[in-house]
A and B are shown apart, each in its own frame.
Chain A
């Protein structure tokens, strides 16, 4: 029930356009998908951060988004996409670019990575297009 309310509130926020920049329709759809995955983690007391990063995902490209995380918190990075993206993967790197071990969730064109940093500081979220053609993606994250 709580999850449904949250998804409804977020969808309302999306539809009323309370975003920092005008997203394309494809990005709005991708964000809806990302919020749907993030909503599942809310059942486990994760709070969805009111912010997102949308963009274009190209084949063999590695979209990277810088985030600053705190040691002690747990995070889930959820990515939604729009057609014609078929399969996507989420990865995490530390500030030196070294890949981090994450708990992975994948459902074709949606994916998520769970991570608990040992050190506070900057990390990079990588989004890879594994199957399909160039399309939009949107990243949201949750923490607890």
Chain B
């Protein structure tokens, strides 16, 4: 014990007071304890710095974020807020090889007398045109183009569409699929533009709605047959359905009271709930089936039901 140099260091008695201004004296024997204290001080300092950095990042992000008022005032128009069926099909196409021609439906009547029903079916037919383009099926594109013309004629917009119909046929014959898709989008916009100039503004949203319903029917049908999470993700569109619903609510009370429009509007509220998944949740197979069931029911009514007089 006497050989240990540390034993030569005298430990001052506890009552002994030394220079108070220099702070409490740390006994050499407590050196390990002091190191722990310093380490803890450093740790606290690091945590404080990290917290400050996180708070300032959050504050900067918050400052750059949009306010609810700004979001509410954002411009929403049919021509840019509502995606085309082509966009929906492009997203689905990324998730695997799709048998597009298996998504065709049988020919629909082109002799409806009700203008609202014609507008809804016109939208559905344009979505069919996009399916035929995805399938790279020139003949089917031409058949659908001809039906679009017939329905357009019934609404008094055939003259403007005639030129488009001719170019659709020409591009289909030359298998120019990219340009065909652009022509279909242009056709849809031209139909809507013509409706606006004919004081048929109320019908515009019905064309959009018909296209969305048919597009969603096809996409849910494909996902049901070959479910994958990445494919199911495309179905989340609550704001889109809300926007369409708000536009349907703006149409004239007379048109809104028509049985078909009333039915479609009522069922749309239910469909909005079915496609309102949280951002981080992927719809299950069962949820996809429910959306498909709802839109298919609506599609059947749109294409076959003659509104009551």
Contacts and interface: CB of A to CB of B under 8 A. Distances in A.
A52 B77 CA distance: 9
A20 B230 CA distance: 34
B212 to A, nearest CB: 10
A67 interface: yes
Given A47-B86, A53-B79, A120-B233, A68 B240 contact: yes
Contact of A20 (B78, B235, B237, B238): B78
Which label, helix, strand, loop or mixed, suits the secondary structure of the B interface? helix
B65 A66 contact: no
A40 interface: no
Given A51-B80, A71-B230, A143 B87 contact: yes
A75 to B, nearest CB: 9
B90 interface: yes
Contacts of A9: 179, 182
A35 interface: no
A62 B182 CA distance: 31
Most chain A beta carbons < 10 A, residue from B74, B79, B234: B74
Interface stretch (A81-89, A94-102, A104-112): A94-102
A52 B80 contact: yes
B159 to A, nearest CB: 13
Nearest to A19: B193
- Chain B contact-residue range equals 35 or more
Interface in A46-64: 47-53, 55, 62-64
B79 A52 contact: yes
A102 B147 CA distance: 42
B19 interface: no
A140 to B, nearest CB: 8
A104 to B, nearest CB: 15
Given A97-B65, A120-B236, A144 B80 contact: no
- Chain A contact-residue range equals 35 or more
Contacts of B61: 98-99
B235 to A, nearest CB: 7
B87 A49 contact: yes
Interface in B177-231: 178-179, 181-182, 185-186, 188-190, 192-193, 196, 230
A119 B179 CA distance: 28
A70 B279 CA distance: 12
Contact of A62 (B70, B178, B192, B240): B70
Contacts of B68: 97
A122 interface: yes
Most chain B beta carbons < 10 A, residue from A62, A66, A96: A66
A53 B186 CA distance: 16
Nearest to B64: A99
Contacts of A72: 91-92, 94-95, 230, 233-234
A65 B233 contact: no
A49 B237 CA distance: 19
Most chain A beta carbons < 10 A, residue from B65, B75, B182, B192: B75
A53 B75 contact: yes
B26 to A, nearest CB: 50
A143 B239 contact: no
A132 interface: no
B83 interface: yes
B234 A120 contact: yes
Given A19-B193, A70-B234, A119-B280, A47 B182 contact: yes
A50 B239 contact: no
A139 interface: yes
The 5 closest A-B pairs by CB, nearest first: A97-B66, A122-B239, A70-B91, A50-B185, A51-B79
15 contacts: A20-B79, A20-B192, A47-B86, A48-B182, A49-B80, A49-B87, A52-B79, A65-B75, A68-B239, A68-B240, A95-B279, A97-B71, A119-B236, A120-B234, A121-B238
Given A48-B182, A65-B74, A120-B237, 5 more contacts: A47-B90, A64-B73, A68-B82, A119-B233, A120-B235
Interface of B: 61, 64-68, 70-71, 73-84, 86-88, 90-92, 94-95, 178-179, 181-182, 185-186, 188-190, 192-193, 196, 230, 233-240, 243, 279-280
